[in-house]
Amino acid sequence: MDTASETSCEVYLDLHGERSSSGDKSSELSVNRRSLLKTGGGLSLVGILVSALTQSSDPANNIATVHSVGPNEEYETIQAAYDALDATGGQIAVRHDYDSAAESFPVEMNQTDGNGNGIPFVLIGDDVSETRIDASGSGADVLKILGPGTDYQRKVVVSNLQIVGGQTGITFTECPYSHLQNVVLNACSNHGVHLASGGVGNYGFTFDNVEAWGCGRNGFRLEEHSYPNAVTLKDCEAMLCGQADSDFAGVHLRNSSVRWIGGVVQQNYGYGIDLRNSNAPYIGGVYFEGNGLGTTAPLDIYLGATRTDDQNEGPGVYAPTVESCYFNGAYYYQDHFKGRERALRALNVQKAFGGEVQSCAYRNYSESFIAVFGDSKGPNSDVVDFDLNRASHWNVESLPEGTPFLSKVNGHRLRSGGTVLKQDLVANRVVGRYDGDRAIHDGDGPPLTAIWSADDETWYLPDGTSIRE
């Protein structure tokens, strides 16, 4: 099924359990695009932001100017309304009866002030379910936005809009500490939303209730050289993305302290979330289902480094956290291109140092919940001190038929609840990380707890016996 060209699709979320054997979907939560668009209360945060900026003592933040866009308004197109703003910026209010037919794409929002910085503005629709920018007949990007760079008080806010079609829905360049909220991106042939490389980047950016549906490549793409540090994506959805190229995940995350909190990552053709070359990233409270529709080894989350010719080239991921997520690998309502009924694994750990995965529920994976792919079990491994917190997870399926917890165990000092996993500490050349570090030694005789002494760099068993090579 070619869903990329569709403007409507239906997705059933397995939030209450598996599909009934009778095929009756009356007991399931049915979520379609129309119902998802009908979200209320979208003006509250924008109103606060507008008020705060308007009341600022800095005249550069005065966005009291309002340019209305619609057939009976001052401006017919968003481009004309934006072009009419001066260097102090303003608000562009797109009315529900706005018609994109007169718009030329891309809409270029790249004015600069006397210092060469982009101007601040708020682009706001009446309601996300009604205010629609339709670029479905265009082969161009839809919105291209240049922000104010390091003038942090001069923000860009985009809210309460639907964007349909075009190549990339919204591209942001040099928009630190800006906001995208209550926006739906539907059937963009390239990316849904793109934090692009250039200038000072897009750090501190906030996404709130943003949905990317049926995009050809990434639903959300945060470029590494966009420096998306401290970017937060809250209650966002990436669904059915990667249709044109399954090498592109639903969500592409990079850099330090990037956070994906809540929301849904479902039925993407590539991985659900592709997370590489990052420091202290966080993924928490997310619903995952049926990702990897177009891949031979379907996954929900990949943790690792940028790959070139099958080689891990980048620094990898340092201190990642994945917690309190629900993972369902089943393909209920979309066909996997290889005829799979289940994804292979929920999580691949390929190049990661420190970090942990904890307190997740999972079901319906053909191989395992987690796989660790360090290049060795020795001290030169590229997966080190990763904590699996095994006792905190729950297999929702009935055992013993349920998904195995762990496969491909290849890393150094892998842990569970802080304790190094059971192994022959001598044969695997395991050394402690800090004084008092704990491990389970499985050599000759029964497994025993071992404590690391930093003073003489030796493991000691409870009876005081040392373990040395």
CA dist., res. 353 & res. 459, Å (int): 22
Residue 436 has pLDDT above 70, yes or no: yes
160 CB contacts (<8 Å, ≥6 apart)?
Answer: 42, 43, 46, 124, 125, 126, 127, 128, 131, 181, 182, 183
**Maximum pairwise Cα distance, the chain:** 86
Of all residues in the chain, the percent with pLDDT exceeding 70 is: 84
Instruction: Summarize pLDDT for 162-196 with one digit per residue, the tens.
Output: 999 999 999 999 999 999 999 999 999 999 999 99
Question: Residue holding tokens 């059971």?
Answer: 422
What's the angle, vertex CA 14, arms to CA 13 and CA 20, rounded to 5?
A: 120
Split at pLDDT 50, 70, 90, the class of 311 is low
Residue 52 has pLDDT above 50, yes or no: no
CA dist., res. 220 & res. 218, Å (int): 5
Across 380-402, b (16+ Cβ under 10 Å) vs e yields ebbbbbbbbbbebbebeeeeeee
CA dist., res. 143 & res. 123, Å (int): 11
Give the strand pairing for 394-395 and 383-384.
Answer: unpaired
More confident residue, 50 or 311: 311
Residue 319 has pLDDT above 50, yes or no: yes
C-alpha closest to that of 145 among 126, 117, 125: 117
Instruction: Summarize pLDDT for 225-265 with one digit per residue, the tens.
Output: 999 999 999 999 999 999 999 999 999 999 999 999 999 99
CA dist., res. 124 & res. 271, Å (int): 32
Residue 7 has pLDDT above 70, yes or no: no
Q: DSSP letters of 116-161?
A: SPBPPEEEEES-TTT-EEEETT-SS-SEEEE--TT-TTS-EEEEEE
pTM over 0.75: yes
From the CA atom positions of the chain, what is the Rg in Å?
Answer: 25
CA dist., res. 191 & res. 172, Å (int): 12
Split at pLDDT 50, 70, 90, the class of 116 is confident
